[in-house]
């Protein structure tokens, strides 16, 4: 669980401090936002593993932000836990209908919050995150950050690794350069689409040692596809 990024959207400094302390002790990385607008900026910089979202925020409410996130393809899959002072059943249902995955009522203990976060993360990311991906003799282990062919390691840069990880978890599908940018670099990465080509080239070079550069296929006019088929 450690190293997971949690975006906390909460206007009260005291709660941010308390939650921040509890989360860092539990090994999470905390990103903070004071309101929905700031939260959207943070989301554009890259997706967290989970969002803790206060219901009552100045400006756009937490519930509206949750709805917006669930309507947007980019943020749809990010799990949300709503934080709220209200405990009424109607509100609970409202939060879940808006797309929240769970609901924690204030005041909550840091320990309870951490347990709920872990439960949601387990539910939405069943082992697959750490699963070793194997296509043909090419194997990628997200846990140890290792790529190998028949136990021979392939050295590559972090971007090539993320790109290969994305490809191997989404084989046989065509992705445009901008989709790859969104998924691998984060939507608000200030990079040009040509950057994708540069890293594709590097990835192919590394894979060519075993002839696997053929897996990274250019689909004319559309983008790239990772496929073990010719």
Q: Which residue is nearest to Ca ion (CB)?
A: 56
- Quick one: tokens of 63? 């519930």
Residue number with CB closer to Ca ion (56 or 60) = 56
Shortest Å, Cβ 12 to Ca ion: 5
Shortest Å, Cβ 72 to Ca ion: 23
Beta bridge partners of 149: 138, 152
Identify the CA nearest to 91 among candidates 103, 79, 109: 103
CA distance 199 to 157: 9
Note the residues at the interface with Ca ion (CB under 5 A).
Answer: 11, 54, 56
Shortest Å, Cβ 37 to Ca ion: 14
Residue number with CB closer to Ca ion (11 or 91) = 11
Residue number with CB closer to Ca ion (56 or 135) = 56
Contacts of 104 (CB under 8 A, 6+ apart): 81, 82, 83, 84, 112, 113, 116
Shortest Å, Cβ 202 to Ca ion: 46
Residue number with CB closer to Ca ion (23 or 216) = 23
Strands 223-226 and 216-219: antiparallel
């Amino acid at each position: 669980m450690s190293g997971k990024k949690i975006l906390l959207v909460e206007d009260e400094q005291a709660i941010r401090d308390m939650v921040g302390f509890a989360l860092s002790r539990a090994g999470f990385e905390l990103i903070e936002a004071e309101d929905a607008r700031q939260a959207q900026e943070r989301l554009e910089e890259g997706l967290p593993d989970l969002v803790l979202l206060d219901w009552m925020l100045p400006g756009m409410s937490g519930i509206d932000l949750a709805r917006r996130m669930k309507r947007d393809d980019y943020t749809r899959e990010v799990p949300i836990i709503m934080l709220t002072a209200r405990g009424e059943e109607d509100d609970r249902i409202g939060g879940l209908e808006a797309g929240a995955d769970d609901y924690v009522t204030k005041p909550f203990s840091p320990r309870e919050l951490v347990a709920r976060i872990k439960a949601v993360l387990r539910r939405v990311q069943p082992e697959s995150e750490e699963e070793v991906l194997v296509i043909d003799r090419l194997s990628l282990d997200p846990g140890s950050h290792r790529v190998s062919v028949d136990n021979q390691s392939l050295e590559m840069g972090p971007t090539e690794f993320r790109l290969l990880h994305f490809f191997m978890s989404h084989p046989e599908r065509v992705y445009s350069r901008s989709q790859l940018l969104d998924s691998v670099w984060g939507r608000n990465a200030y990079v040009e689409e040509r950057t994708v080509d540069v890293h594709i080239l590097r990835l192919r070079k590394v894979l060519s040692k075993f002839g696997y550069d053929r897996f990274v296929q250019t689909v004319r006019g559309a983008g790239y596809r990772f496929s073990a088929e010719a």
